[in-house]
Amino acid sequence: MPDIAYEQARHGSSIGQPLTRRDGFLKVTGGATFAADNRPEGMLHAVIAVSRIARGRVAHLDVAAAKAHPGVVDVMVPGNAPKLAADPDAKNDPFTFRLDLLQNDKVRYAHQPIAVVIAETLEAATEGAELLAPRYETESPRIGLDTAEAHKPPAVGAGDKTAATKGDVEAGLKSAEHRIEAVYETPAQYHNAMEPHSIVAQWDGDKLTVDTPSQGMAMATMRLAGLFGIDPKNILLRSPFLGGGFGSKGFLSGPQVLGVMAAKHAGRPVKLVLRREQMFGPVGHRAETRQTLRLGTDGSGALTALDHHTLTATSSFDDFYEPASALSRYLYKAPALATTHSGVRVDTGTPLFMRAPGEASGSAALEAAIDEMAETCGIDPLVFRQMNYAEAEPISERPFSSKALRECYEQGAARFGWERRSAAPRSMRDEAGRLVGWGVGTALFPALMMQAEARAEIRADGTGTVAIGAHDMGQGAWTALAQIAADGLGIDLDQLDFKSGSSDLPNGGIAGGSAHTATAGAAIHSASAAVLALLSEMATTDERSPLFGAGNAGVYAAGGRLIRRDDESRSESFSDILSRAGKDSVSASGKGAPDPASRESYAMHAHGAVFAEVTVDPDLGQIRVTRLVGAFAAGRIVNPRLVTSQYYGGMIWGVSFALHENAVVDPRSGRVMNPNLGEYHVPVNADVPSIEAILVEEHDPHVNPLGIKGVGEIGITGTAGAIANAVYHATGVRVRKMPITLDKLLG
């Protein structure tokens, strides 16, 4: 078969174009059907009742009162809930997280579902749920990082090592000329995607159709198949649009499964949508951390040792540990390095993946510590980073697959005007007399690859189809992946039918770990290449084709034609090739996956540098972020408009992390006391400053065939630290407990 694998240099007209979202028009006109917009014939509404206690058991529910309420059809409780084929507490693998599915009356966290009321209307179901008037046997909740002895987690994050060390940190600290030790705290944060978890479920015998937002349809389908004991082929999961995911829709949550159970229980289609406050419990969150950093440098300011320890919380009944120390394994080249984690079990829902899990909290602490270290050495914080960043992974010593971080520092600093910064804290003011501070943070996120499959087809009319069960949670996957598909097939985008967002398509993997474009893109690339190889075979072996005899690596595809490399005047359209062969179409499948050999040889990350300006009212302590400049290098940029938008989003998460988000838990009840968007603060437009993102050019030949790295999460890293450092520079006050609020400046 002729080899027509692409070089990265040869790409069609779609990749690299700043196209607007292909689904944008549907979204802004209300034409996009989100899960909860579905209303199958005969649909009922389900509302969950959640626990007000964090630990104990439900002693009584007034089911009779709820059932007697007009419009209520039934109440699903542990006694009558459908039997499941698998124990939802069974831990088959580290990524099967335990779910609360009304299998018993135990309460393990506040806002745990304890009943589901099913009714003809949403109002009736809501009112019915209020009539349940639960009584509890309450045990005192274990809340906060000091509630119990810490233990060593079996693993952190997505199966990372709990500890990784190199050299003798104590000796490195002892021999250091300058030293700092500081403890940083980050609070629990909750997801709050604009679209809460929602599901419309309908059964037809043992066939199940669900409309629900998902970042991992194939995994969700397998989970449902296991819980209900049905063939995954009998499940159709549709997830064409998500109103944000941020990690919370990576795994099917308990309430989504309860919607499926309610439909089974009622024998009718059911819709279940979480209320905002119900998201503060059963759908994952980012756990609080307390991070201890100890750093030392020699007289020149070169790091001699870096010790990063994270204490974090997990639930009483499952394991997920925020891997906050992990990024210290990659970023700065201390000859002695220790990165460790410990955990405490508390009575909350299980924390899970959320917006750069680990890197976000870890970077917030590490970048603040680096700033403190630079100040102790009397070195400009940018210069200190430029002296100390690593060019090979400090622990494994694998070289980075590309070295663009220096460029990020330089381009970001130039754009921001960093050279005009005056070193001393409280030394800059704006015209209104407010204190001005400038800070910097390094951004870093691993360039992950997962597994995905795609199918591609070219038809005799010259049009093509690419099908992949990929996920667009707002990041623009439908657009970026279609650009890759059009170029992969060598056709114009308007000749492409791109099918996505449904579980009956080839497994598109997971939209997580900022790896979706790279992974699904690689699958699309390989499926398209396989189709073109078939077409090429048909043409180059046929005497009647102008491409006859072009031989190995002799043709490429563009504009719906195969073209001879050695003589571009000789080409043939896909239509002509297929018509002559008497075929309507030709199709093939392909896979995307990491290449183990290159992963062994290189450390792969996207890099960046974020510069922040804040103003602080000298009397009232009010903090505003006024300017953010981020320079990021993330390999091939598929769509600069969407990538810029991803960086903006990430940097706004950083603003949110530094100044806004804070789930306050009442230690007596174990409840989050601010489970609503009025009191759980996220930035609104007025909080979002001037933001610029610089797309630093980077060619990474090792990371995957298309040279694509993730851009979804890197923006939050670097940013929170840069803002904290800017607040210090403005005020001279180091706030080591996030979010940074005015009371902490005045205190």
Least separation in angstroms between residue 218's CB and ligand MOS is 15
Tell me whether residue 215 or residue 442 sits nearer to ligand MOS (CB atom). Answer: 215
Applying CB under 6 A, among 362, 490, 506, 512 the residue interacting with ligand MOS is: 512
In whole angstroms, how close is the CB of 290 to ligand MOS at the nearest point? 21
Question: Which helix (H) or strand (E) is 126 found in, with range?
Answer: helix 122-130
Considering beta carbons, is residue 239 or 545 the nearer one to ligand MOS?
Answer: 239
Which region among 218-226, 242-250, 342-350, 551-559 touches ligand MOS (by CB under 6 A)?
242-250
| Minimal distance, residue 56 CB to ligand MOS, in Å | 31
Question: In the complex, what is the shortest distance from the CB of residue 643 to ligand MOS, in angstroms, rounded to a whole number?
Answer: 17
| List 113, 250, 343, 358, residue binding ligand MOS (CB under 6 A) | 250
CB 610 within 8 A of CB 630: yes
- Which helix (H) or strand (E) is 724 found in, with range? helix 719-731
Alpha-carbon torsion 322, 323, 327, 333, what sign?
Answer: positive
Least distance from ligand MOS to the Cβ atom of residue 357, Å: 5
| Among candidate residues 23, 156, 640, 735, the one with its CA nearest the CA of residue 425 | 735
Closest CB to ligand MOS among residues 337, 716: 716
Q: State whether the Cα torsion 487-491-496-499 is positive or negative.
A: negative
Closest to 94 measured CA to CA, from 159, 151, 160, 163: 159
Measured distance CA(738)–CA(488) in Å, rounded: 45
Residue 506 neighbours by CB under 8 Å, 6+ apart: 452, 453, 454, 455, 467, 468, 469, 523, 589
* H-assigned helices in 337-450: 359-377, 381-388, 405-416
Strands (E), 274-388: 285-286, 289-297, 303-315, 336-346
The full DSSP string for 154-188 is S-BTTTB-S-EEES-HHHHHHT-SEEEEEEEEE--
Q: Are strands 72-76 and 113-119 parallel, antiparallel or unpaired?
A: antiparallel
Of 288, 359, 613, 713, the catalytic one is 713
Q: Is 355 in the site for ligand MOS (CB under 6 A)?
A: yes
* Binding of ligand MOS by 172 (CB under 6 A): no
**Shortest distance, position 657 Cβ to ligand MOS, whole Å:** 13
- Helix ranges, 445-515 (H): 477-489
Pairing between β-strand 496-499 and β-strand 464-467 as defined by DSSP bridges: parallel
Radius of gyration of the chain (CA): 27
State the minimum distance, in angstroms, from the CB of residue 245 to ligand MOS.
6
Residue 122 parent element (H or E):
helix 122-130
**Shortest Cβ 277–ligand MOS spacing (Å):** 22
Residue closer to ligand MOS, measured from CB, 246 or 418 = 246
Which residue type occupies 533? Answer: A
Binders in 184-223 for ligand MOS, by CB under 6 A: 215
Residue 572 to residue 562: CA distance in whole angstroms: 6
Minimum distance, C-beta of residue 322 to ligand MOS, in the bound complex (Å): 11
The H or E element containing residue 57 is strand 56-60
Is the distance from CB of 608 to CB of 630 less than 8 angstroms?
yes
2 binds ligand MOS (CB under 6 A): no
The minimum distance between CB 52 and ligand MOS, in angstroms, equals: 29
Could you say which of 190, 241, 353, 611 contacts ligand MOS (CB under 6 A)?
A: 353
Nearer CB in complex with ligand MOS: 250/362? 250
Nearest residue to 289 (alpha-carbon basis) of 331, 342, 242, 246? 342
Q: Cβ 511 to ligand MOS, closest distance in Å?
A: 7
Question: For residues 355 and 636, which CB has a smaller minimum distance to ligand MOS in the complex?
Answer: 355
Sign of CA dihedral 678, 681, 683, 686: positive
Amino acid identity at 197: H
Piece of the chain touching ligand MOS by CB under 6 A; list 42-50, 333-341, 347-355, 386-394:
347-355
Helix %, strand %, coil % for the chain, to 5? 30, 25, 45
CB closer to ligand MOS, 215 vs 662: 215
Instruction: Pick the piece of the chain touching ligand MOS (CB under 6 A) from 217-225, 246-254, 406-414, 677-685.
Output: 246-254
DSSP state of 307: E
Q: Is 354 in the site for ligand MOS (CB under 6 A)?
A: yes
Encoded tokens for 595: 């290449």
Give CA–CA dist 655/666, Å, rounded.
Answer: 25
Question: For ligand MOS, how many residues bind (rule: CB under 6 A)?
Answer: 11
Catalytic (active site) residue 177 = no
Residue 352 Cβ vs ligand MOS, minimum distance, rounded to whole Å: 8
Of 140, 121, 226, 249, the C-alpha closest to 670 is: 140
Candidate residues 141, 153, 172, 247; the one interacting with ligand MOS per rule CB under 6 A: 247
Residue 662 CA to residue 680 CA, distance in Å, equals 6
Whose tokens are 């579905």? That residue is 38
Closest to ligand MOS by CB, 307 vs 318, is 318
Minimum distance from residue 716 beta carbon to ligand MOS (Å): 10
Place of tokens 């990524």: 95
- The residue sitting closest to ligand MOS, measured at its beta carbon, is 247
* 113 or 512: CB nearest ligand MOS: 512
Residue closer to ligand MOS (CB basis): 215 or 615: 215
- Name which position in 12, 269, 357, 554 contacts ligand MOS (CB under 6 A): 357
What does the alpha-carbon distance between residue 85 and residue 620 come to, in Å, rounded to a whole number? 59
Q: How far is residue 445's CA from residue 605's CA, in Å, rounded to a whole number?
A: 5
474 binding ligand MOS? (CB under 6 A): no
CA distance 334 to 172: 9
Q: By C-beta, is 249 or 561 nearer to ligand MOS?
A: 249
Applying CB under 6 A, does 513 fall inside the site for ligand MOS? yes
Closer CB to ligand MOS, 172 or 240, in the complex = 240
SS3 category, 119: strand
Residue closer to ligand MOS (CB basis): 209 or 239: 239
Residue 689 interacts with ligand MOS (CB under 6 A)?
no
Q: How many CA atoms lie within 13 A of 411 on its CB side?
A: 18
Query: Mind telling me the catalytic residues?
Result: 713
* Binding site residues, ligand MOS, CB under 6 A: 215, 245-247, 250, 353-355, 357, 512-513
